[in-house]
Structure 1
Amino acid sequence: MNTPGHIRAVRRRTVLKGAAAAAALQLASPFIIKARGETPLRIGMVDPLTGVYAAVAQNEVTGARLAVQQVNAKGGILGRPIELLVEDSANDVGTGVQKARKLIDRDQVAFMIGDVNSGVAQAIAQVTNEKKVLHIVSGGHTDTITGSDCKWNVFRVCNTTSMEANAVADLLFTKFGKKWHFITPDYAFGHTLQKAALADLQKLGGQMTGNELTPLGTTDFSAYLIKARAANPDVLLVLPQGSDMVNCLKQIAQFGIGKQIHVAGLQQELESLEAMPPEARVGIWMFEWYWKQPGVPSVEKFVADIRKMNGGKVPTARHWFGYTSVHTLAAVANKEKSLDAKKLAEALGGFELPDNVKLQPNKCYYRKGDHQLMTSSFVGEALSQPAGDPEDLFRVERVVAGDKTAPPEAATGCQLKWPA
């Protein structure tokens, strides 16, 4: 039988336990709230980390990782740290689509960036559009991505193929002649790049002597080069990229073709120049971004930051693509205080990049009508023997603003269809 004293003691112990539990909950609450706030916000990235474009894709990833570090150091996105999840598309459309669906459905990414391969990028854009995920194409150039196949949720950082051709065509025509021959990679990027260059050539009053279509991953270009030399053009335009570009230019040097014909192209990559012997580094080209820009705000710091992550090597345009893609997403989400894809896509129309992200002298912004970034083209000459700085493999002769090279919005074929 319980005595009154025993009952009072039990009640007292119960009250003390309740108070202790309440105190423990109060102490724990800030940590619970903090833990919720620190749940990472995931960004998915699909790029060809193996194969022909492995070097440029890996540099895009490095640039994106630098941006992730910088964004997280300033509080992340809406107070949440961001996490980059990277998948290899292996230059294959089916693989790229599968990886994109995995990132969205299983890993629950909030945003998507990538891919270097234009065909893969377009296929992934179909997935992100279906899933209503904001997507920035960091490295696929074919016109249709922000042209006839544009989508309300898809933006692009790198140039279009038309922008690349428009930046350099008049210089090649004026300086070297009106007869051009093309070595063209046989897929979406190559086709649209060659088409854009041919359109410029015809406007200038020139003529094409031939167009050699080369499969992705070609190692022996001799048959194509023999035909090109026999056509006797003024200019041989080399359009393949990645290791295909390196192999083609090495064989051009071995055959001595550059002694008879001016060798040039529309898009050049620092990764390719670094992989070539000096005798293969020739011709007039355009870079989409170049690391040596004296006096341009924030470029020097970006170069130093990338060196720390890149084995001491200077950054390339691909580093800048990945870097800018992540910073764009963070900037617009924090500005709008939202993760809603439609709201952010609407806000990105006309969005201008700040100095520490654009890293170039000209204004850099996303056009409202087609979601294409108006980014500069760095036009100049590849250097077989750099003067002074062995890392400076390209002499910039002019920097052309994006709104000077881009076709008018009405001419792109883009008709954005927004969800209700």
Structure 2
Amino acid sequence: MKKIAIASIAIMAAAAAALPAQAEVSDDIVKIGILNDQSGVYADFGGTWSYEAALMAVEDFGGTVLDKPIEVVTADHQNKPDIAANIARQWYDQDQVDTIMELTTSSVALAVQGISKEKKKIDIVTGAATTTLTGEQCSPYGFHWAYDTHALAVGTGGALVNNGGDSWFFLTADYAFGYSLEEQTGNFVKENGGSVVGSVRHPLSTTDYSSFLLQAQASGAKVIGLANAGLDTANAIKQASEFGIVQSGQRLAALLFTLAEVHGLGAEAAQGLSLTEGFYWDRNDETREFGKRFFDRTGRMPNMIQAGTYSAVLQYLKAVEKTGTDETEAVAKALHEMPVNDVFAKNGKVGANGRMIYDMYLMEVKKPGDMAGDWDYYNVLDTVPGDKAFIDPAKSGCPLASN
């Protein structure tokens, strides 16, 4: 009888260990903050559309987690780190926000990630580019979910060389972001057997690109790489179209451009443009269904920032559900361990540095006559496997990944 009793106790203990811990949700609500640019140069890049994507994720999850309600709040950081920092502190200290996501603009993302680390809160970045987030300034609670500068350089630089674009001339914004993008892309061009024949730097927010484009045209390079962003990229593409650069046989490669900016520019000016994104709504039946639902509520198709925000919110909620709590350490551990399988990423994995690794895609904007509809912009030229697109976590410079 004593042996039976001991065996029964052991079985009960094992069964108890197999059960999830009692659900624990702080303040009886899971609150998610979407913080980004909603009125400036990146308002279409993510903007209120990322907020809508977050709401879609909550609805698709069922509206509650662990029988507790889910709330999504949002604010405009105006691309200013000080404003973003003030909002983040208020959200964490007064409004009981559990996690902050999106965070367009690298300086903003770094500032908020620093505060999140200090407060032991999770942040998931989908809108900023810098690899520093998962490099020397990585955080045990910080995650980078969509693209980064390394992936853009590999996708548009390396993969485009393999598609015939083996000589490059760079038109580069004259500040640190532009230099970094030119350098990283140029390195991948050379590593894949291509050459960089020259470059020229332009002032930030200039309106006249004629002299720079004439130098690029005269270089004879097969590809003109636009190492800039936002309105700088759009204005350069518009004026390149006026010069007939693409029509004459040279290719334009936008190193940071998404479907939202292509739509704003228009197919006539953007045709022939090469770029890299981590999501395209028209790749398969699943992405088309998601795109249609997003379009029905917003009047536009999602880019990789918005689809990435949907994925980040969904994965966070899955992690809360899995762990039975919204406690930061437990949820962060689950986010590192769980594979990412949703409409945005298949077989995605999170490295020790917080970088989510998944496949990226080299795109080319169609000619207007080849488009089947208003948002039928891309031909997918190549798939860049995640392990090639993103830096090996062990080589990222993140102390967490070198242990």
Q: Which residue of 1 aligns with 2:236?
A: 248
Q: Which residue of 2 aligns with 1:375?
A: 358
* Cα deviation 1:201-222 (Å, max 9, x = unaligned): 2323444344444455444333
- The 1-side partners of 2:347 and 2:401 are apart by 27
Question: Given that residues 65 and 317 in structure 2 are in contact (C-alpha distance below 8 angstroms), is that contact kept between their aligned partners in structure 1?
Answer: yes
Quick check: 1:154 aligned with 2:137?
no
1:54 counterpart SS class? coil
Deviation at 1:189, TM superposition (A): 4.5
Quick check: 1:115 aligned with 2:108?
no
Q: Which residue of 2 aligns with 1:399?
A: 383
- The 1-side partners of 2:36 and 2:202 are apart by 22
Quick check: 1:43 aligned with 2:26?
no
Stretch moving more, 223-232 or 396-405: 223-232
- The 1-side partners of 2:334 and 2:74 are apart by 26
Q: Which residue of 1 aligns with 2:301?
A: 314
Uncovered stretches (5+) of structure 1, i.e. residues with no partner? 1-35
Deviation at 1:301, TM superposition (A): 3.1
Equivalent pairs: percent with the same residue? 26
Question: Given that residues 76 and 330 in structure 1 are in contact (C-alpha distance below 8 angstroms), is that contact kept between their aligned partners in structure 2?
Answer: no
* Cα deviation 1:36-84 (Å, max 9, x = unaligned): 999542212210111110111222222112112223xx25232221111
Code of the residue aligned with 1:290 in structure 2: it is: Y
Deviation at 1:359, TM superposition (A): 3.7
Query: How do residues 148-187 of structure 1 correspond to structure 2 at under 5 angstroms?
Result: 148-186=136-174
Deviation at 1:104, TM superposition (A): 1.4
Residues 1:398 and 1:171: Cα distance change in structure 2 (over 3 Å): closer
* Cα deviation 1:119-169 (Å, max 9, x = unaligned): 211111111111111110111121111122211110011122112222232
Quick check: 1:56 aligned with 2:39?
no
* Cα deviation 1:263-284 (Å, max 9, x = unaligned): 1233431111111233321232
2:45 counterpart SS class? helix
Question: Given that residues 338 and 349 in structure 2 are in contact (C-alpha distance below 8 angstroms), is that contact kept between their aligned partners in structure 1?
Answer: yes
2:400 counterpart SS class? coil
Quick check: 1:349 aligned with 2:339?
no
Deviation at 1:191, TM superposition (A): 3.9
Residues 1:203 and 1:37: Cα distance change in structure 2 (over 3 Å): closer
- The 2-side partners of 1:247 and 1:227 are apart by 17
Quick check: 1:413 aligned with 2:397?
yes
Code of the residue aligned with 1:224 in structure 2: it is: F
Q: Which of 81, 87, 92 is the matching residue for 1:104?
A: 92
* Cα deviation 1:329-383 (Å, max 9, x = unaligned): 11101110112212211221132123xx3445x422212x211111221223111
Question: Given that residues 162 and 192 in structure 2 are in contact (C-alpha distance below 8 angstroms), is that contact kept between their aligned partners in structure 1?
Answer: no
Query: How do residues 299-338 of structure 1 correspond to structure 2 at under 5 angstroms?
Result: 299-311=287-299, 313-338=300-325
Q: Which residue of 1 aligns with 2:119?
A: 131
Residues 1:189 and 1:290: Cα distance change in structure 2 (over 3 Å): farther
Q: Which protein is bigger by CA-based radius of gyration?
A: 1
Quick check: 1:291 aligned with 2:272?
no
Quick check: 1:272 aligned with 2:272?
no
Residues 1:49 and 1:218: Cα distance change in structure 2 (over 3 Å): farther
What number of residue pairs does the alignment pair up?
374
Q: TM-score, normalised by structure 1?
A: 0.81
Aligned alpha-carbon RMSD (Å) = 2.5
2:172 counterpart SS class? strand
- The 2-side partners of 1:37 and 1:148 are apart by 31
